[in-house]
Amino acid sequence: MVQGRTSRRRGLDDGGPNAVSESSPPRILLVDDSPEAETYVARSLRATIPLATVERPPGRAELLEAIGSDRFDLVITEARLSWSDGFKILRAVKERRPDRPVLMLTNTGDEDLVVSALRAGFDDYVRKAPDQGPRLAEAVHAALARARDREDRRRANALHVAELRREASEKTLILENMPDAVIVTDGAGRYVLANGAAGRLLGMDPSDLIGLELDEQPWKSLDEAGNPIEYDQRPIVRALRGEQVSMIQRIQAVDGREVVVRVASAPFRDEAGAIVGAVHLVHDATDEFARARQIAEGARLRALGQLASGVAHDLNQYLGLVVGYGDLAMAALNRELVDAAAVRDSLTTMIRAAEDGAEAVRRLLLFARPSVEGPAGRVELDEVLRETAKLTAPRWRDAAQQQGRPIAVDLEVEGEVAVDGWETDLREAFANLVLNAVDALPDGGVIRLAARPETGRVVAEVSDDGVGMSAETRERLFEPFFSTKGEGGLGLGLAIVFGIVERHNGTIDVESAPGRGTTFRLAFPAAARAEGMRSTAPDPDVARQLRILVVDDEPALVTMLARLLSSDGHDVALATSGEEAVTVLVGRPIDVVISDLGMGAGMNGWELASAVQKLPRRPHFILTTGWGAEIEQEEAAARGVLAVVSKPYRLPDLRKILNTL
């Protein structure tokens, strides 16, 4: 080893054992077959770097040990060695010490070799010649300077990251006692702060969040219905665009939990007004929403009970008509000269009364159905308002008249009033508004239901000419548990309405004054115009003879349906249980099975439909049930059911389906 004067001590004041100090003499590792090369390099550096030390390992083992050690600041290697080459030496150095500079020294001036060396990662290339000494010293100086610059940048970056983590730690300590999650990003969209509540909410260590980009978040952002939120619609992304965002959403945490949260995101700006980051506040509202759902369900059941009492009254009236006109029909038939016209009139009234009773029950079932989560569908508001008027009629018509306060309901619809949403929820909202209007008419009056299109929106109104309300009451109207009805009210009906309107991206306004009535005005985005479709319904008079199996555990219903179908020329077989139906299906060919859903303790309609799907020749399957309003057609089709027919059914209902086969 060729060595100059002893250099000053290296240590922490020089940046550590790996640092390259400008004031310390460089230590050079030389890889060359020729012993004279060590003398050549030392002599070349003597003029400008007199204290530099040069060491040439005697063997391969010593070389590998030296490459992996901290004893050297720079490596100079011959391009061609008897046992290797400079490119392999370069790779060995970079694998062990990636930041250590490496120079190539060779006897040739091959330009291709120069290009290859620089591309491979050599810091420079110097030709081994007597007149190249100054060039070698210059290359060593430059390579060491670049190494120092790299080390300075690395240390500065490490200090910067450490400072960021220190600041984040200090701020996190301040925020640790906050019950809500606080998440902050910088202007480039990197998470720079998260408190402990954020970590608990997201199911991860909050320190693991620091430095992540927004599109690298390991949790899932979902809307209130559970659908993924597009990246550019996420609250914190919108805040970085300058928006202030407040919304309810769901989060699927890293540990698999799903929580309901209220979020508020806002940008923060520097003195010049430029956006330099965003803050995201997240409140875990899972328990709150669960309690609200239970309370809302209680309020819904209360309203359902009120409506059910009215429906029971109507059913008694309809049954009275059936019994009374049935007696009249029997009396007419018992006469010596049968009055066919009187019998026909009686039977017509009985059928109409039965249909009206079934319709009253259907409306009640629709109101009682729980809200179905899923994508929004096209909803015709005029139909919803008509259904609402009929559904609430026992309250505004029968009960009010009984109390001596006659109430009328007017319906006004203009143009196309379709919206995208959930029909069950909208029906519940309007029913709550009508029931409130009934309570606001102690002396009777008029309730007006209206809907009209307005420049891309649909506006619906529920108005009454009742007692009205004060400004103070209007301000608190949609607060949960606020009620003006004393012990008779839970104060949840209008809060439920407000939530339903918000879910449909709508708005709700109230106009009212004491003694001047009240108008609730709801506005929703209009649905896209529906394309006209030509009806392909078959001619109801066209029918082909079918082999039909009728299944019901009520013998009278089986017999009735068999007689109805036989009158159209169909070949009808009977079964009073699912098990008996399977036996019939195995023993004879059947085109259509018409089965009840609930059939006592044995096989039910769904199970029979499943059994039919396993037969070699699968007949069409029609399900009849008194709970038809609760069965989705998509679910029925997925289970092999062609159609669901609500009881009480009539021959035209069945004929319409059978004529499509």
Let me know if residue 604 belongs to a domain. yes
> 102: closest CA among 91, 113, 114, 115?
91
Pairing of strands 27-31, 74-78: parallel
pLDDT the model gives residue 616: 87
Most confidently modeled of 170-174, 344-348, 641-645? 641-645
Q: Is 419 left (phi over 0), alpha (psi -120 to 50) or beta?
A: beta
pLDDT digits (tens, 9 = 90+) for 96-115: 988 899 999 888 778 888 88
Spatial contact of 253 and 203, defined as CB atoms under 8 Å apart: yes
pLDDT the model gives residue 628: 52
Residues contacting residue 252 through CB under 8 Å, at least 6 positions apart:
219, 220, 222, 258
pLDDT digits (tens, 9 = 90+) for 330-380: 877 887 777 788 788 878 877 777 776 776 666 566 555 555 455 678 899
CATH code of 100's domain: 3.40.50.2300
What whole-number distance in Å separates Cα of residue 343 and Cα of residue 237? 73
Let me know if residue 160 belongs to a domain. no
What whole-number distance in Å separates Cα of residue 495 and Cα of residue 480? 5
Same domain, 92 and 147: yes
When comparing pLDDT for 451 and 652, which is higher? Answer: 451
pLDDT the model gives residue 367: 57
Q: What are phi and psi of 192, to 5 degrees?
A: -120, -10
Same domain, 381 and 422: yes
What whole-number distance in Å separates Cα of residue 493 and Cα of residue 290? 17
Same domain, 27 and 111: yes
Same domain, 186 and 265: yes
Assigned token pair, 176:
């640790």
pLDDT of residue 87 exceeding 90, the answer is yes
Same domain, 366 and 385: no
Q: Where are the alpha helices (DSSP H) in 267-339?
A: 286-334
DSSP string, 390-450: HHTHIIIIIIHHHTT--EEEEEEE-S--EEEE-HHHHHHHHHHHHHHHHHT-TT-EEEEEE
Of the pLDDT bands very low, low, confident and very high (cuts 50, 70, 90), residue 535 is very low
Same domain, 128 and 24: yes
pLDDT the model gives residue 534: 41
pLDDT digits (tens, 9 = 90+) for 281-319: 999 988 887 776 776 666 666 666 656 665 665 666 567
DSSP string, 625-660: ETTGGGS-HHHHHHTT-SEEEESSP-HHHHHHHHTT
pLDDT the model gives residue 480: 56
Let me know if residue 392 belongs to a domain. yes
Domain count, the chain: 5
Same domain, 259 and 300: no
Mean pLDDT of 212-232: 87
The domain containing residue 329 runs over which residues? 289-370
Let me know if residue 346 belongs to a domain. yes
pLDDT the model gives residue 309: 60
Same domain, 118 and 130: yes
Cα end-to-end distance, the chain, whole Å: 101
pLDDT the model gives residue 559: 85
pLDDT the model gives residue 17: 40
What whole-number distance in Å separates Cα of residue 334 and Cα of residue 400? 42
Query: Whole-number mean pLDDT of the chain?
Result: 81
pLDDT of residue 328 exceeding 90, the answer is no
CA separation, residue 573 to residues 70, 516, 588, 652, 659 (Å): 96, 65, 10, 20, 19
- Among 163-167, 314-318, 443-447, 636-640, where is mean pLDDT lowest? 314-318
Mean pLDDT of 155-180: 80
What torsion, rounded to 10 degrees, do the Cα atoms 573, 575, 580, 583 define?
10
pLDDT digits (tens, 9 = 90+) for 456-511: 999 999 999 998 888 877 777 766 555 555 444 444 457 778 878 888 889 999 99
Assigned token pair, 111:
């330009």
What whole-number distance in Å separates Cα of residue 96 and Cα of residue 78? 19
pLDDT of residue 20 exceeding 50, the answer is no
pLDDT the model gives residue 12: 31
Residue at which a domain ends, from 503, 529, 555: 529
Same domain, 386 and 312: no
Residue at which a domain ends, from 261, 284, 307: 284
The percent of residues above 70 in pLDDT, for the chain, comes to 83
What whole-number distance in Å separates Cα of residue 409 and Cα of residue 654? 35
CATH code of 424's domain: 3.30.565.10
When comparing pLDDT for 579 and 344, which is higher? Answer: 579
CATH code of 358's domain: 1.10.287
Residue at which a domain ends, from 258, 284, 310: 284
Spatial contact of 277 and 185, defined as CB atoms under 8 Å apart: yes
pLDDT the model gives residue 569: 87
Same domain, 26 and 130: yes
Let me know if residue 541 belongs to a domain. no
pLDDT the model gives residue 593: 94
pTM of the model: 0.42
pLDDT digits (tens, 9 = 90+) for 543-563: 578 999 999 888 888 888 888
Of the pLDDT bands very low, low, confident and very high (cuts 50, 70, 90), residue 530 is low
Same domain, 474 and 445: yes
When comparing pLDDT for 145 and 498, which is higher? Answer: 145
Let me know if residue 164 belongs to a domain. no
Same domain, 565 and 524: no
pLDDT the model gives residue 240: 92
Spatial contact of 184 and 193, defined as CB atoms under 8 Å apart: yes
Number of H helices, E strands in the chain: 21, 23
Let me know if residue 300 belongs to a domain. yes
Let me know if residue 1 belongs to a domain. no
Cis preceding linkage at 179, omega within 30: no
pLDDT the model gives residue 489: 44
